[in-house]
Amino acid sequence: MCAAKGCPPLRSEPYVGSQLDKQLDDQARRFLGNPKKNRFEVETQTLWLSPIFKWHEEDFTRSAGSLDIYVKPYLPEPSRIELDKAEKVRVRHTDYDWDLND
């Protein structure tokens, strides 16, 4: 967890073992649904991701093979559909906001 604005949002409830997978999936959807931090641009076939995905790329790609495959299930539905249609996806990274949350 971190206090920078560029980090994923903190959950308003504690993580619970029996609900952990569901809670983590929900947090991933919230984070990847924020177009200031993550988005797919259809026109340029560019997947813009938080620098967190660059800094920890191996953690995300180890099981999926690529960042676009890893993030696709967590993107908003319109982006998932368009990402499926893309022939060649470029991955770029958004700016990270180091300012602290209030």
pLDDT given for residue 2 in this prediction: 77
67 and 79 Cβ atoms separated by less than 8 Å: no
The pLDDT value recorded for residue 9 is 86
E strands present in the chain: 39-41, 46-49, 90-93
Q: Which two tokens stand for residue 73?
A: 């299930």
pLDDT value, residue 1 = 60
Round the average pLDDT of the chain to a whole number and report it. Answer: 94
Residue type (1 letter), 62: R
Query: What residues in the chain have per-residue pLDDT under 70?
Result: 1, 102
